[in-house]
Amino acid sequence: MNPLETLKTAIANSFRSKLRTTLTVLAIFVGAFTLTITNGLGTGISNYIDSQVAAIGASNAFTVTRTDTNAGLGSGPQKYDPNTRVLAAGGRPGSTQVALTQADLDKIGAVPGITGVSPVTRLNTAYIQWNNQEKYQLSVSVLAGAQPQLDAGQNLDDASTVPQIILPSSYVSPLGLSDSAQAVGQDVTIGIPDATGTMRTVTATINGIEQNALLSSGGAFINKALSTALAQAQATGTTTASAPVYTTATALFAPSTAAQISDMKNRLSAAGYTAQTLDDRIGTVKTVINGIIGVLDAFAVIALIAAGFGIVNTLLMSVQERTREIGLMKAMGMGSGSVFALFSTEAAFIGLLGSLIGSGAAIALGTVVSNALARGPLSDLAGLQILSFAPGTVAVVILLVMAIAFIAGTLPAWRAARQNPIDSLRYE
């Protein structure tokens, strides 16, 4: 029998016992459906996290701090050294963080591969106000290559001399603005206390409004022009005696391979600095999510294995039912290989049927549910499609299910193949 004939006969055979085939297909359907949904969940959530992560920082930047040489709990306080500056850090009470000086920044910048270093100055902004209406608290951060997801307006322009700001959408109506679109282009006043405690004000233009986001700090992004202006205002009245010190610095690098990145990290570490990319900082979140998806996938695979036993059973029954027919075909010169191919093709076809229907239903239902969720309970997390289906992943699911079905079919197929024609014909 040629392959096309085998395929046609296998398909026709699987439709001969409709109820039995339907039940097996249903079992596979459940497995394929679950697997497609869990994969959709994984794709949806990781897409969302990737876009959110891009919103808070660039992927080609390190956050660099001085490595704390304090050996940890119980080692007691460090000896005072007049050459090291320390800053009170936000960690456990009493912990300190070694500060970065201009000399440190130069050293970091000298590491091969690093294209630029900028210190992270803490800007203690006090409030924001529009059109002399109510004042609201505000925290700001510079946009170190981050790509916030915008509701309206445009991303910041660091080359511009105009002080620009991107506000979270939650600020729009409290400030007295009617909507995001109206907010863009408006001038706002930012209050910041200087070194002597006197409140200074700086004016900035709203360049964009950021969507509500999972990882957002609730603060605003500012461009270089605005951060310089704010830093100047904050520094008014500082005594020139104290040179500026920083807790952290941002070091940019050209797009690199993982090996190059880890090489740069090692060099920085050897020099006494701790460098973390955004992935390092966000890595744990992703690991947890991948773990959860992995567990869900495992459940789906268990469902599929159960469905696999269903296939074994269905085909064993069908081999039994067709014992005489197999005997007849073998008596007419059909080879064992062809008999095996016929039955395993039937198994794979049942698998294909189940997985196509299962994945199709999962995609249809998942898309509807996901859209409903995005409009309803999850609408605070703009841009989150909890389920999203990548064609590649769905294809992998279908192939996996077919492979499981095929493997399940080998036992019955082998039993059919090894039968002696006369014994099979005598079977009642």
Distance of alpha carbon 373 from alpha carbon 203, whole angstroms: 39
Nearest distance, CB of residue 319 and another protein, angstroms = 16
Tell which residue, 108, 127, 260, has the closest CA to residue 193.
Answer: 127
Nearer to another protein by C-beta: 205 or 338? 338
Distance of alpha carbon 173 from alpha carbon 154, whole angstroms: 19
Nearest distance, CB of residue 343 and another protein, angstroms = 15
Q: What angle do CA 278, 282, 286 make, to 5 degrees?
A: 135
Nearer to another protein by C-beta: 281 or 426? 426
- 1-37 burial, b at 16+ Cβ within 10 Å, e below that, comes to beeeebbebbeebbeebeebbeebbebbbbbbbbbbb
Write out the H or E segment, with its range, that includes residue 63: strand 61-66
Nearest distance, CB of residue 17 and another protein, angstroms = 11
Distance of alpha carbon 318 from alpha carbon 33, whole angstroms: 26
Nearer to another protein by C-beta: 306 or 331? 331
Nearest distance, CB of residue 10 and another protein, angstroms = 13
Nearer to another protein by C-beta: 360 or 421? 421
Nearest distance, CB of residue 324 and another protein, angstroms = 6
Nearest distance, CB of residue 21 and another protein, angstroms = 15
- Residue ranges in contact with another protein by CB under 8 A: 1-2, 5, 9, 16, 324-325, 327-336, 338, 420-422, 425
Nearer to another protein by C-beta: 18 or 79? 18
Note whether 15 and 21 are within 8 A (CB): yes
Nearer to another protein by C-beta: 106 or 423? 423
Distance of alpha carbon 174 from alpha carbon 349, whole angstroms: 61
Write out the E strands in 95-234: 96-98, 114-120, 127-129, 135-137, 140-142, 150-153, 164-168, 187-193, 199-210, 220-222
